[in-house]
Amino acid sequence: MSGEARSSGPAMSPDMKALLVPAIDSRSSWRELFILPLAAMFLAMLIGALIMMATSVAPETILQSFIAMAHGSVGSIHAISETLTAAIPLVLAGLGIGLAFRAGLFNIGAEGQMVVGGLAAAIASFLVTGLSIWLHLPLVLLVGLAIGAVYAAIAGLLKAATGAHEVISTIMLNLISIRLLDYMLRQPFIQKEGRSDPISKAVLETAELPRILEFLDGNLRLHAGLFIMLAAVAVIYWLLFRSKLGFAFRISGENPGAARYAGIRAGLTIVMAMAIAGALAGLAGAIQVSGVLGRATPGFTAGIGFDAIAVALLGRSHPVGILLAGLLFGALEAGGRQMQVDAGVSIDMIGIMQALIIIFVAAPLLVRRIFPPLFRERPRGGEENG
């Protein structure tokens, strides 16, 4: 062991080299990140099958529905395109929620941030005219990002200045955003000409995210938001684990007392973390409007901001975990639609299974009990106090 020997000077002694060997049991983090979610998914599918059996769905239909699910999510280029398209906003908003988590904040407001971000992006997409796609599209996305950031920062400011709990304030901001959306969609400068129902004008072509698989098949919806999502994963990873700001976030989230001790300003950290989380959700909203929907309509976010909370939980607030969790949820979404078509099983079943996965992931002890061999720990010592 290292303790006995001393080293002096900057030269690398053997003791020092020994200390620099990673000690983290990579198997246990592998378990946390992959095996546990997979086991949870298996259990969720099992219970899903039981529910279907209880509602007298024939066994072969159940089998057929799972085959349809696999087929609809990864079985064809079209299925993969749909899976990825569904994953993009989930991952982006999930990254924001995960980042806020790491800073000790529970951002329930991704839905509302997506709404205001998407709405603002929609407005910018048809009110601003005469720009090339190289200017217009980035502008639209940046508007969505900025408005989402501002909207989330409100909750951050309220917490920093008055101690108002962010869970309460973000829930309220969600409600406001939904009503605000309906109200704004009836404003003459936003509402589509000749319509009396709330629906916005269409996004101009210069503000549309290009579809990236159009050369294969015109029906493939996957758009360039995929690259934005992948870049966001990398940026947030860098931010959390490489940057000074991310380190401050993580200290604040793990131990507020230590953050204070280290001279980190709590209020500023809260506002910054919320703003970044909101920026990601706002961007997700803008991407949905610009890349998929082509306009803003009531409820255009379709609860993605809430599903993203589950994605962040499932991904353990780790950017790579969130990417994988978002892909899984995207696959369930796409596969669920196929299941409804092929097997006639309602897509509600997918919602149930998604929720079950989260419950199992949130209760790791339960999963460990059910599958003990998958989680057999190599015994670890040194934590016993005498």
Partner 1 sequence: MDIELRGISKRFGPVQANQDINLEIRAGEVLGLLGENGAGKSTLMNILSGLYSADTGEILIDGSPAIFTGPGDSIANGIGMVHQHFMLVPVFSVVENVILGVEPTSGVDYLDLEAARAQVQEINTRYGMEVPTDALIEDLPVGIQQRVEILKVLFRSADVLILDEPTAVLTPQEVEEFFTIVRALRDAGKGIVFITHKLHEILEIADRVSVLRQGQIVGQGDPASFSEADLAEMMVGRPVSFSVGRAESTSGDTVLELAGVSLFDAAQDARLVDINLSVHGGEVVGIAGVQGNGQTELVEAITGLSAVTTGEIGFAGQDITRASVRQRHRMGVAHIPEDRHKSGMVGNFTVAENMVLNSYYDESVTSGVQIDWRRVHARAAAACLSYDVRTPSVFLGAGSLSGGNQQKMVVARELERDVRLIVASQPTRGVDVGSIEYIHRQLIACRDRGNAVLIISSELDEILDLSDRIYVMFEGRIAATFDNRGGGADRNAIGLAMAGVSQGTNPGAGRSGNRGSAA
Q: Which residues bind partner 1 (CB under 8 A)?
A: 1-3, 5-8, 10, 12-13, 15-16, 18-24, 242-245, 247-248, 250-251, 254-255, 257-258, 260-263, 379-386
* Cα 145 to Cα 153: distance, rounded to the nearest angstrom: 12
What is residue 255's DSSP assignment?
Answer: -
* Cα 287 to Cα 88: distance, rounded to the nearest angstrom: 8
> 194 vs 244, which CB is nearer to partner 1?
244
> 8 vs 56, which CB is nearer to partner 1?
8
Cα 271 to Cα 43, 94, 145, 171, 274, distances in angstroms: 39, 18, 15, 17, 5
How near is the Cβ of 213 to partner 1 at its closest, in Å? 36
The answer to whether 192 and 270 are in contact (CB under 8 A) is no
How near is the Cβ of 262 to partner 1 at its closest, in Å? 4
How near is the Cβ of 172 to partner 1 at its closest, in Å? 27
The answer to whether 223 and 210 are in contact (CB under 8 A) is yes
- Radius of gyration of the chain, Cα coordinates, nearest whole angstrom: 23
> 23 vs 365, which CB is nearer to partner 1?
23
How near is the Cβ of 243 to partner 1 at its closest, in Å? 5
* Cα 356 to Cα 237: distance, rounded to the nearest angstrom: 28
* Cα 216 to Cα 220: distance, rounded to the nearest angstrom: 8
> 18 vs 63, which CB is nearer to partner 1?
18
* Cα 324 to Cα 78: distance, rounded to the nearest angstrom: 19
> 55 vs 243, which CB is nearer to partner 1?
243
> 23 vs 54, which CB is nearer to partner 1?
23
Q: Which is nearest to 309 in space by CA: 83, 101, 149?
A: 101
How near is the Cβ of 315 to partner 1 at its closest, in Å? 17
How near is the Cβ of 378 to partner 1 at its closest, in Å? 8
